[in-house]
A and B are shown apart, each in its own frame.
Chain A
Amino acid sequence: MIEFSIWDILRNLLLATRWTILLSLVSFVGGGAVGLLLLFLRISKRKAVRAFAKYYIELFQGTPLLMQLFLAFFGLGLFGIDVPAWLAAGLALVLWTASFLAEIWRGCVESIARGQWEASASLGMGRLQQMRYVILPQALKIAVPPTVGFSVQVVKGTALTSIIGFVELSKAGTVVTNATFQPFTVYGLVALIYFALCWPLSKSSQILERKLNVAHRNH
């Protein structure tokens, strides 16, 4: 039997970590874009549009991410579409992330005083102009800490994609364990790597939040 040094193990895990990071980035950026769209739908003047966004958000928040991954992976297969694991993983995570970000951001937008909407409306601004120049610049500042905080959930969420066969950090952990028979060492290292990814994110979210609370000024 071949002996694996701890460096061999770590090297293999770190190589797979690239995919965890890439998938996290794709989910976060894609989810952010879809989430922004959802946010606009969610606060639309039209009731049907608002309802659509509301049900979308409830559906994706109310079902396990794992089921969404399965459905994206196997569901599309039913229609004869061959979905590679990376695509199903990316798609499900983007849609899942979007539902949470849209809801986080909606809260931020709604925390802006009604007077800001009224003043900008009375100056003749249309709804998109109000959002663009008055509401979002203020909401953005409040939104940063919870948004960064949520990115931790996205990183951890990518671990689930190992189940549909996407080789990221968790899946690599299983593969390496099968080759080395050192589950404790391997998963210990996997956990450490996740921690190294997530801790800076949650810490910066906390720092940002404290900074915003200390700063009385809104600019």
Chain B
Amino acid sequence: MSLIEITEVRKSYGTNEVLKGINLDVEPGEVIAIIGKSGSGKSTLLRCINGLETITQGSISVAGAQLIDDEVHLKALRLKVGMIFQQFNLFPHLTAGGNVMLSQSVVKKTAKAEAEAMARKMLDRVGLGHKFEAYPDELSGGQQQRVAIARALAMQPIALLCDEITSALDPELVAEVLAVVRELAAEGMTLLMVTHEMKFARDVCSRVVFMHQGRVHEIGPPEEVFANPKTPELQQFLGMH
């Protein structure tokens, strides 16, 4: 059984069908890069896996748990899958430490001391142990994104969804975030990431998914997909990058 099973998933906004039957099985420890043109449905797919969007048809299961649209099932699913956003979305009224502690205390009812220890550990892990007391607006974009990663990790998810997590960063800050992701991949975290960092995808990912017009147009190991694209759409897409 795969860790994440996406079966015939369709998603429409009104009459606009954005996902047109997606099938994708992700094994534990896999690192999957999702690439494709703007509007091809990459974000929508990730958001569906996390239950931020409700799917119109098909099924998604994570570690055997079905995605069902009610608060209990969604919560169970979200404890297994963390999500990192392009815009970081840190809570501005809390310190870095507070950001990492909040959901542990509120959702998991972890005791304060324990949540704080976990927060320090996770902030250390992304190289920001010394920024525990800093507020988000006192941090650089790269640091904010690393706090967001620590915040997701503190919930001990079995997979992470990353939606263009370096796209809002100044170029010189991209590397520090990718280094953290690279480390997570090396430690065996299952990752699904929408990315424009082709070099990163080539180096780190086990498989690359090329999405086109709401479908998985091509899929395979990076060597194959990048060196030997089969469809003209992917050839054209890679030509531009």
Contact = CB atoms under 8 A, between A and B. Distances in A.
B155 interface: yes
23 contacts: A113-B89, A116-B91, A118-B83, A119-B83, A119-B85, A120-B103, A121-B52, A121-B74, A122-B50, A122-B52, A122-B83, A122-B152, A123-B107, A123-B151, A123-B152, A125-B103, A133-B106, A137-B93, A138-B91, A138-B93, A218-B92, A218-B135, A219-B94
A123 B94 CA distance: 15
Listed residue (A119, A120, A218) with the most chain B CB atoms within 10 angstroms of its CB: A119
A119 B91 contact: yes
B75 A124 contact: yes
Interface string A116-146: 1011111111110100011001100000000
A56 B152 CA distance: 40
Contacts of A116: 89, 91
Interface of A: 113, 115-116, 118-127, 129, 133-134, 137-138, 216-219
Contact of A127 (B71, B89, B90, B152): B71
Contacts of B65: none
Given A116-B89, A125-B107, 20 more contacts: A113-B89, A116-B91, A118-B83, A118-B85, A119-B89, A122-B78, A122-B82, A122-B152, A123-B78, A123-B102, A123-B103, A124-B78, A124-B103, A124-B107, A125-B103, A125-B106, A137-B93, A218-B93, A218-B135, A219-B93
Interface of B: 50-52, 71, 74-75, 78-79, 82-83, 85, 87, 89-94, 102-103, 106-108, 135, 137, 148, 151-152, 155
A118 B148 CA distance: 13
Contact of B89 (A118, A138, A218): A118
Nearest to A216: B137
A134 B155 CA distance: 17
Contacts of A137: 93
A77 to B, nearest CB: 45
Contacts of A218: 92-93, 135, 137
Contact of B85 (A115, A127, A134, A216): A115
* Overall SS of chain A's interface: helix
Contact of A126 (B71, B87, B151): B71
Given A133-B106, A218-B93, A219-B135, A121 B71 contact: no
A121 B87 CA distance: 15
Contacts of B79: 124
Contacts of B93: 137-138, 218-219
A133 B102 CA distance: 8
B89 A115 contact: yes
Nearest to A115: B89
